[in-house]
Structure 1
Amino acid sequence: MAKWAAFPRPGEFRFDAAGVRRLWERLHASDAEPLPADPAVLEAWVFFHNGEFQQAAESGVRAGGAGITVANKATCIHANYLEKREKTRLDLFQEVAQRGDAQLKADPQNANAWYWQAYALGRYSQGISVAKALAQGLGSKVKDSLERTIELQPRHAYAHAALAAFHAEVIDKVGSLIGGMTYGARKETGLTLFEQALKLSPASPIVLIEYANGLVMLEGERRLKEATRLYQQAAAITPVDAKEWLDVELAREELQD
């Protein structure tokens, strides 16, 4: 595996296994991942929360089982935030989707196996264009996987936000009529899902960011002031780990533009 780009603030977060275990509920408030029993999987999560995403991915794959979830999350976060080469980004998302297929065959009741596969396919779809992805049937797979995630884990804030974003992006790209008839995308459903995501995880910067983006896609410029306020809330959060740091920085950069 080629060396991945490093987290921009190495050493900013210094978790050990005991620290991750102690803060597990806060660290995983948005994805409801259960605390692993396997020490090797917990160690992979230590790498992840410290921003050592490549080590997290490699350790998760080696550990197997619940470790695949760490590997998939680490790969997705690296690809989305740190990988600059577009082809490599898309290849990494495809890798996660394929690994997710294998994970789901072994453990079909694993909510985060469904979620990270949906995340990878969703980001891949954005990379090739949402319209092209919809034509290839990827949109339906993303929607179905996110709905399955929520069915298995109703407290999954990320899945609520991602499913809301699906409704928003489809309507934004193809309009309400075609979006509703062809892909089951509805503005009211998207807004409700965003509200549920925020209720489940009000301190999540990425939930705030996705909500802000979705409001503008679904309701236009009349919600721009509210969207800006949501970005300001995200930018003001003190990040608890490396992934949240990347989210907070994203909000701050957007406000500066």
Structure 2
Amino acid sequence: MYLREFDLDLPYIVDKERIQAIMNEKKCEYHDATKFDYNLNWDDKRRSFRLETRCITAMFERLFVKMKTEDCKKVLIECVESITDERILNFSGIVTVQVKSSYNEFILGNDDEKKRTTLNLLLKGIEKISREKDWVIDAFRDVSSQIEKIGYLNEWIWRKAVKSPQKKYYAEVLCQHNVKSMDISILIRQMDGTEVRKIMVISELPDEFAYAKHLGQLVWTSESEVVLVNKNGDNMVAVRIE
């Protein structure tokens, strides 16, 4: 088994007083009250937290060289106000550990602060797991240092550049994974590297399940126009050389 994936989560914590109040108000059972409470008070927070931390966890995955393990394919860090379980658990290769953090402090931070907090929480969890599993921590710290050195900037060129029909230009797709968005731009350059155009063509939620559908194929339709076709082939965005 190879470790390739990393993620943060905001697990649901039951507030007993609130659950009891819901049970009294709605005259329902405990299970139904917790389900109502989760949907009303937690689901959006959990989704928002996962989206806003994905910028750094995805960057960590991209820079990390896969590591062979006995039983782990993914590290999942549960970020909690108070640690209720010190154990390191394994569910079908997903190794989970709790790390203390404050959601309210996180959500009030600016984007740079959120990036730093995400990396710090991720590394804390990895260190706890590494001590139990006797993993060499240097490989993880090296990735953390790389992220810090490039200023937490998660951007990359998707696939290879594509040359225009007469080979005067080449085009690339630039992906910029931010805290609140994934911004996808088309870059057109002359063959010597001089930038001719740079246009952001798509801004999507900062998660692979949201933005991957837009990345199908980059195609020149003429010497002056290039289009990005989605995976289904039923939608495209075009950029022309003015």
Decide: shared fold, TM above 0.5.
Answer: no
Greater per-residue strand proportion: 2
Greater per-residue helix proportion: 1
User: Normalising TM by the smaller chain, what interval?
Assistant: under 0.3
Please, what TM-score do these two structures have when normalized by structure 2?
Answer: 0.27
Rg larger in structure: 2
Please, what TM-score do these two structures have when normalized by structure 1?
Answer: 0.26
